[in-house]
């Protein structure tokens, strides 16, 4: 991707896991002007809430076809803090924590770093289940992704 689409894309993401660990789902709402795109998916096999919280912004960013200015909203401090500060140290340390332990979910962190490199991303944290319309829709999409994954596994 080269030329930047200056019309900002707003993305709200969420992940869900019931129980945690257990089946999981992720959801993303993408908006650019009057255009909206809803994305969701999930896993019937056991996963974790953190993996689903990471998967949502990865899938949303990877869905963009042009380099874009992105305002990305998540209710996960794990995702926001990880991508805005922790990941730089992990990369310097060969994907090890300060305690020299392997970084959990390093496969997804690497994908998120690569997806972010394709866009100009500004990260925002929103409190979950607090009435933010974009976050509430992303939450419903994550629940739908989880339900569809479980239903497909039972079929």
Q: Has 139 been annotated as catalytic?
A: yes
CA-CA distance, 60 to 12, in Å (whole number)?
9
Residue ranges for the binding site for Mg(2+)? 14, 53, 75, 139
Q: Has 129 been annotated as catalytic?
A: yes
Q: Which of 12, 14, 41, 82 is catalytic?
A: 14
Q: Which of 12, 25, 41, 53 is catalytic?
A: 53
Nearest partner of 51 among 73, 72, 82, judged by Cα: 82
Contact 1, 124 (CB under 8 A): no
Q: Which of 59, 75, 82, 145 is catalytic?
A: 75
For the sheet containing 4-17, what is the strand order? Answer: 35-47, 22-32, 4-17, 67-74, 120-125
Q: Which of 15, 41, 42, 82 is catalytic?
A: 15
The residues with which 31 forms a beta bridge, in sequence order, are: 10, 36
CA-CA distance, 66 to 82, in Å (whole number)?
25
- Buried-exposed string 38-67: b where 16+ CB fall within 10 A, e elsewhere: ebbbbbbeebbbbbbbbbbbbbbbeebeee
Q: Which of 27, 41, 139, 145 is catalytic?
A: 139
Residue ranges for the binding site? 14, 53, 75, 139
Q: Has 75 been annotated as catalytic?
A: yes
Q: Which residues are catalytic?
A: 14-15, 53, 75, 129, 139
């Amino acid at each position: 991707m080269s030329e930047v689409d200056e019309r900002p894309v707003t993305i709200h993401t969420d992940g869900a896991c019931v129980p945690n660990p257990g089946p999981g789902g992720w959801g993303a709402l993408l908006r650019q002007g009057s255009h909206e795109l809803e994305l969701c998916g999930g896993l019937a096999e056991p996963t974790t809430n953190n993996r689903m919280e990471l998967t949502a912004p990865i899938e949303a960013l990877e869905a963009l076809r042009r380099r874009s200015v992105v305002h990305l909203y998540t209710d996960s401090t794990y995702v926001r803090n990880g991508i805005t500060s922790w990941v730089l140290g992990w990369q310097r340390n060969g994907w090890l924590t300060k305690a020299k332990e392997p970084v959990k979910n390093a496969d997804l962190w690497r994908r998120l770093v690569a997806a972010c490199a394709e866009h100009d991303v500004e990260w925002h944290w929103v409190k979950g289940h607090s009435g933010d319309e974009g976050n509430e829709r992303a939450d419903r999409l994550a629940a739908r992704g989880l339900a569809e994954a479980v239903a497909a596994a039972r079929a």
